[in-house]
Every structure is written in C-alpha cells, then in structure tokens.
C-alpha cells in the first residue's frame, strides 16, 4: 500500500500514468541519449494519444479537471523516464497554464485543445541571453504595437522545444518606461511559422538531451493582437502563475528520477558481494540508501503539500504568496534531494555506475540541471525569504502566539538588543 495521502481519484491517475511510462520503448530513451532523436515527437504523440496531457485543464478543452496533486503525481511517474521526457510532458501543463488562466475562449479552443490533443506542442521562451534570474530587470525583447499587431524583436535562450515546438509562450517589454519594470511586460503566443521567428543555436548539453534546446530569435516577428495573453502589460501576473506548474513539475519529476536511481542501486546492493557479504549488508552502503529514501520521502511530503496549497489557492483558500513560498521550497528541496540520491546511487554501484551499462550516469547528468533551471536554487531561496518576511511583517500575521523572547533569562535587558 502506498500513496496514502492521495485521494482514490488521484491514485487512479498516478497508476494510469505509471502503466504508460512502463511501456515507453527503452530504444527511444537510448536514441535520445545517443542524439539520434533530437526532439521526441513520438513520445509526445504517445502521451497525448493516451489522453494524459494537460490533466488539470477543463474537460471541454480535452483535460480532466484534475487537481494539482493528481497532475503532479503524473509528473512524478514521468520522472522514471528521466528529466528530458518528464520535462517534455510537463511543458503541456506549464504553457497551458498561462492560456487556461488568462487566455480568451478562442485561444483556449485553439491552443489548450491543441495541447491536450497533441496537435500543438507548446514551449516556453522566457530566458534571455542577458539574464534568466533577473529576467524582468534585464529583458531586452520588445514588442511594438503596429495597428492590430505587435512586432517582436529580441531573443530567447535555452528554450526546450526550440526545435520542434509548434508555438511558444513568450514575454516582451511593451512599456519601457513602466515602474516597476515588471508592469511593462506582456505575454504572447507566437506560432512557429511566424515570419521573423528563427531558430539559431542548438545547444550541446551535458544531459537532458533530446529536448531540442535552442536559441530563438525574433526579428520583426509580426504577432496578431489576438495572440496577446491577458491584457497589455499584464505579463508579470501571467509569469507568476506559470511559475507554479513550472517549479512544481521540476519538483515532482525529481522525485521520480531519485526513486528510480535508488531502486537501481538497492537492487545492485542486494546482489553484489564484497568482503564475504552482500553490499547491502555493509552499513556504509545501506545507510546511504536509507538516507536517500528518507530525503525522497520528505521531498515528496513537501511536493504534495505545495500541490495541495495550489489546489487551495484555486479554491480561494490560500494566498498566492503562501503558494509561491511552498512551491519554491519544493523545487529547491526536491532538486537537491534528487542530486544527492542519484549521486549516492552512483557511489553504491561503484565503477559500473559511472559507465553507460547502467542508467545512473545519465540520471546524474540530467539531475544537475534541476538546480539551475525554472529559476535557480539561489533564486528559490530569495523568493522563500522574501515571502516569509512579507508574511511575518503583515498585519494579518497571527499575533496570538506565545512570545518566546520572554522566556530568555535576561529578556528584560532591552538595552542589549541593539539592532543598528
């Protein structure tokens, strides 16, 4: 018995996805790794054909009205395939979020239905060469209104699906004089065949191969006005909403990667012998596995708490700020737990773990990215502290708690409490 914290319905979704993942051909993953496959269209068709893309979206657009928890448990299962494919799967949930929340009925009909049916694969073109962390401070891509169109100029870097995606959700400055700068940015849907959109560099990557990661250039790319997502200059709100699935999917996919690596290591340790005993009988080995499992279990608890919080936000029972804090914690924690678990798995396997005989070396290379993308882990820490300071400074913060400063022996020496 497992997954006790999921509802019956959520568990059903999770196990349905588990079954699909089980049957993804291993040749596909090997072909991705050896770079025979540069963009996994076959996989995207498979998951869309199985009806499991965009689970949270309304049924009328091909989704299932599923909870965040169900959606993230599906991504966790996808993690067993490694980060590339769980990311490719997750992009449906991430990109669709902007359209589901802020899009027009026509955009939903075309793009949400396109995502869930597998006819239109969407990617997110956010990061720029001048900076990913300080995106809004450094954004150079600009959109100029011309009649009933916007003309985009600029470039976006490291875009998964740069090669292969049918459309991009992107952001551009529409009011350079806005203060703060966040209030002068808009979000757009840009179709791949838009004149003026070019794919330039295809990046050579340490891991996560096969996602078609590229630089996208907009040179006088003419985007119809009805491809604006939300209002003009509302891009920051769209972005913040998109960051919920962006970071939650990385967090939940990491659980799948970490679990898969530890399973390989545990199986190996139960059979391989050294010094007259199975490796698992040596505490140095078994404790590594125990510590990894404990890390994965607490990461899982945080991912599902954050996902429940996102469900509560949608039901009007949690604040965006609270969810932002938990989601950032989940992303930070899961990716570090994954990295440590995969690294431990490699150590347990010894030399053979470093070879391509086992998949752990691939998972190790893949998992390093978790700490960098969807906002680096340093940026997650900035968000967590920022939201916490905001929370405890707010007039709504509960003041009816015990004041433990009064429990200090010398609490009354107020002259010693020098702050500046």
Ligand X SMILES: Cc1cc2nc3c(=O)[nH]c(=O)nc-3n(C[C@H](O)[C@H](O)[C@H](O)COP(=O)(O)OP(=O)(O)OC[C@H]3O[C@@H](n4cnc5c(N)ncnc54)[C@H](O)[C@@H]3O)c2cc1C
Residues in contact with ligand X by CB under 6 A are 124-127, 131-133, 158-160, 205, 208, 213, 369, 372-376, 378-379, 382
* Cβ closest to ligand X, residue 141 vs residue 213: 213
- The span from the CA of 411 to the CA of 413, in Å, is 6
Interhelix angle 83-102/68-78, rounded to 10 degrees, is 160
Q: Which of 27, 8, 80, 86 is nearest to 52 (CA)?
A: 86
| 3-state SS class at 155 | strand
* Cβ closest to ligand X, residue 32 vs residue 313: 32
CA dihedral 234, 239, 244, 248 (to 10 degrees): 170
- The span from the CA of 271 to the CA of 280, in Å, is 8
Q: Which of 229, 248, 250 is nearest to 167 (CA)?
A: 229
Phi and psi, residue 142, nearest 5°: -125, 150
* Cβ closest to ligand X, residue 35 vs residue 146: 35
Helices (H) and strands (E) in the chain, counts: 13, 10
* Cβ closest to ligand X, residue 149 vs residue 163: 163
* Cβ closest to ligand X, residue 51 vs residue 129: 129
Provide the token pair at 354: 């470093």
* Cβ closest to ligand X, residue 80 vs residue 156: 156
- Residues sharing a CB contact under 8 Å with residue 268, sequence separation 6 or more, in sequence order: 279, 348, 349, 358
CB of 78 to ligand X, least distance (A): 16
CB of 202 to ligand X, least distance (A): 12
CB of 39 to ligand X, least distance (A): 13
Cα–Cα distance list, 415 to 211, 322, 403, 419 (Å): 60, 35, 19, 10
CB of 211 to ligand X, least distance (A): 7
CB of 166 to ligand X, least distance (A): 15
- Residues sharing a CB contact under 8 Å with residue 395, sequence separation 6 or more, in sequence order: none
CB of 288 to ligand X, least distance (A): 27
Phi-psi region of 339 (alpha: psi -120 to 50; beta: other; left: phi over 0): alpha
CB of 132 to ligand X, least distance (A): 2
* Cβ closest to ligand X, residue 123 vs residue 296: 123
The residue whose Cβ lies closest to ligand X is: 132
* Cβ closest to ligand X, residue 194 vs residue 374: 374
- The span from the CA of 413 to the CA of 420, in Å, is 16
Q: Which helix (H) or strand (E) is 254 found in, with range? A: helix 235-271
CB of 197 to ligand X, least distance (A): 15
CB of 229 to ligand X, least distance (A): 15
* Cβ closest to ligand X, residue 51 vs residue 131: 131
CB of 401 to ligand X, least distance (A): 31
* Cβ closest to ligand X, residue 9 vs residue 378: 378
Other beta carbons less than 10 A from residue 284's beta carbon? 9
Q: Which residue has the tokens 């239109």?
A: 120
Provide the token pair at 7: 């509802």
Provide the token pair at 253: 């996919």
Cα–Cα distance list, 52 to 12, 65, 240 (Å): 12, 12, 24
């Amino acid at each position: 018995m497992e997954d006790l914290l999921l509802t019956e319905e959520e568990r059903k979704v999770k196990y349905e996805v588990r079954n699909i993942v089980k049957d993804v051909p291993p040749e596909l993953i090997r072909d991705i790794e050896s770079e025979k496959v540069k963009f996994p269209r076959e996989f995207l068709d498979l998951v869309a054909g199985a009806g499991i893309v965009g689970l949270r979206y309304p049924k009328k657009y091909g989704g299932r009205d599923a909870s965040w928890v169900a959606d993230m448990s599906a991504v966790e299962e996808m993690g067993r395939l490694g980060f590339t494919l769980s990311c490719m799967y997750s992009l449906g949930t991430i990109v669709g979020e902007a359209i589901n929340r802020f899009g027009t009925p026509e955009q939903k009909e075309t793009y949400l239905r396109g995502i869930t049916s597998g006819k239109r694969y969407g990617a997110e073109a956010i990061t720029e060469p001048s900076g990913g962390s300080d995106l809004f401070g450094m954004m150079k891509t600009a959109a100029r209104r011309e009649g009933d169109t916007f003309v985009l100029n600029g470039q976006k870097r490291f875009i998964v699906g740069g090669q292969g995606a049918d459309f991009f959700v992107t952001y551009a400055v529409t009011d350079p004089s806005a203060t703060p700068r966040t209030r002068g940015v808009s979000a757009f849907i840009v179709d791949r065949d838009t004149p003026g959109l070019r794919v330039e560099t295809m990046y050579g990557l340490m891991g996560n191969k096969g996602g078609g990661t590229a630089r996208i250039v907009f040179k006088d790319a003419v985007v119809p006005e009805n491809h604006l997502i939300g209002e003009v200059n509302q891009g920051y709100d769209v972005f913040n909403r998109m960051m919920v699935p962006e970071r939650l999917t990385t967090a939940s996919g990491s659980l799948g990667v970490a679990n898969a690596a530890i399973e390989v290591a545990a199986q190996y340790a139960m059979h391989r012998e050294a010094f007259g005993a199975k490796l698992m009988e040596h505490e140095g080995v078994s404790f590594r596995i125990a510590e990894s499992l404990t890390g994965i279990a607490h990461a899982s608890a945080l991912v599902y708490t954050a996902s429940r919080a996102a469900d509560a936000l949608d039901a009007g029972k949690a604040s965006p700020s609270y969810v932002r804090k938990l989601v950032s914690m989940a992303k930070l924690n899961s990716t570090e737990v994954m990295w440590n678990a995969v690294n431990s798995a490699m150590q347990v396997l010894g030399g053979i773990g470093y070879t391509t005989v086992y998949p752990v070396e691939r998972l190790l290379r893949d998992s390093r990215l978790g700490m960098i993308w969807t906002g680096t882990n340093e940026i997650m820490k900035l968000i967590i502290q920022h939201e916490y300071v905001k929370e405890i400074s707010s007039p709504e913060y509960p003041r009816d708690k015990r004041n433990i400063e009064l429990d200090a022996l010398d609490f009354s020496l107020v002259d010693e409490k020098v702050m500046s």
